[in-house]
Structure 1
Amino acid sequence: MKQALYKDKILIVNILVHSFADNKSIKYIVKQDSRKEERLRKLMAYSFERCYRFGEVYLTEDKKACALILFPHKKKTSLSALLLDLDLAFSVIGLSNLKKVLSRESKIKQLYPKSPFYYLWFIGVYPADQNKGIGKTLLNEILTNAEREGLPVYLETSTRKNITWYEQFGFVTYNKLDFGYELFCMRRD
């Protein structure tokens, strides 16, 4: 695993688009219309930008998997961050979905601790390369970094089969939210 460079953005967006194309949580956020793939690509580009600025972005050496880590305690308000958020609202979420997405985000954030933590926003492996241990190796390295920093790791998943996968790494489900699909809130202390 290596820390991604800014020039890796297109590759990372591609990995995440392929990994999350059918994800329930993503479909809830991304306006589902004829431009949904373009919107998904913009969501992943937005996520990359946020994590590159206020977290860490990782890429495996073979360039088949990546992870986006956000440090909420390091997020800063700036004009560029505000412009990113506005672009997300208009070009990805859509005004008709904005209220429900903001409500969803508020409910999730209420569950986070007030102290610093690692937020595993996305971990993705190209679908053709899944079930080969690439994601496992990547997650182990991320968890090692979190342990070194003495920080718990939080994440959400709407994919049931991922729950047992994360449990293998010591994650526990600490809450479940219903948005017309189940969102499992998990943490590893």
Structure 2
Amino acid sequence: MTTMEVTPVEDVERACGTLLAAFHDSSANDFLNCKFQDVPLEETLASHSRADELTRNTIMFYVDRGAEFVQTGDYATVAIWTVPHKHVAVDRTKDERFNAVFLDESQRVKERVIPQGMQYYYLFMVGRDPVSAVKGSVRALFDHYIERANRENVALVLEAISDHARDVYEHFGFVNYNTFKYGAGEVDSNGHLDSNGDGHTGYLMIYLPK
């Protein structure tokens, strides 16, 4: 187990900078921000600054509502977690097809997989500064929350929005319980507008306490 400390964010701007850098070229993240903020997809394709603005809006939506905003490795890795008994309520979007896939089906899977009565932490976002030279910060973050999950007898839940992220989470003991498509008929797998596109692939992953 690593001894790198995980602490609450004190410098919000610096933490936002880490997450913005980590998701700067993530078309899947841009798509989700557009959906949850009811913004036309064309807006993020036209401007990186607009995409960054939407990401910042989403970060602060969670932080302002009491989610844990934490960092490790001198802001090398930053994460946002909602906590047991205090999850952040997210409104349904205007796209009911998206709601059915990303919200409703995910809720059914959580109810099926997580033992009745067990609470969970939800990892809304985690990002590593792509230019940081600090090693082990991602592991430190997950070791910290896995230890808490085991000690408190609660689960950890997240959605991976890339194959690489899925593989990383599997390495830390998360299991993929639902592979799903979102954005089909709107974008291709690279996030470009395409009425015949396959959309993005997501993975609902859960860690159950040991």
TM-score range, shorter chain: 0.7 to 0.9
Deviation at 1:117, TM superposition (A): 0.7
Structure-2 residue corresponding to 1:80: none
Structure 2 residue 156 is the aligned partner of structure 1 residue 160: no
Deviations 1:78-108 (A, max 9, x none): xxxxxxx68xx9xxxxxxx732554433332
Larger radius of gyration, structure 1 or 2? 2
Deviation at 1:130, TM superposition (A): 7.2
Q: Unaligned stretches of 5+ in structure 1? A: 78-84, 90-96
Match of 1:39 among 44, 49, 54: 54
Structure 2 residue 204 is the aligned partner of structure 1 residue 185: yes
Equivalent residues in 2 for 1:1-189, closer than 5 Å: 1-5=5-9, 7-31=10-34, 32=41, 33=43, 34=47, 35-50=50-65, 53=66, 55-71=67-83, 73-75=85-87, 98-99=94-95, 102-103=99-100, 104-113=102-111, 115-129=118-132, 132-179=135-182, 180-189=199-208
Q: Unaligned stretches of 5+ in structure 2? A: 35-40, 183-198
8 A contact 1:156–1:184 mirrored in 2 = yes
- Give the aligned length: 169
Between 1:154-163 and 1:15-24, the stretch displaced more is 15-24
Structure-1 residue corresponding to 2:189: none
Deviations 1:40-61 (A, max 9, x none): 22112223223xx1x4221115
Deviations 1:114-140 (A, max 9, x none): 631111111211011278321112211
Deviation at 1:176, TM superposition (A): 0.8
Q: Percent identity?
A: 23
- For 1:151 and 1:130, how far apart are their aligned partners in 2? 33
TM-score, with structure 1 as normaliser: 0.76
Over aligned residue pairs, what C-alpha RMSD do you find?
Answer: 2.6
8 A contact 1:73–1:116 mirrored in 2 = yes
TM-score, with structure 2 as normaliser: 0.69
Deviation at 1:151, TM superposition (A): 0.8
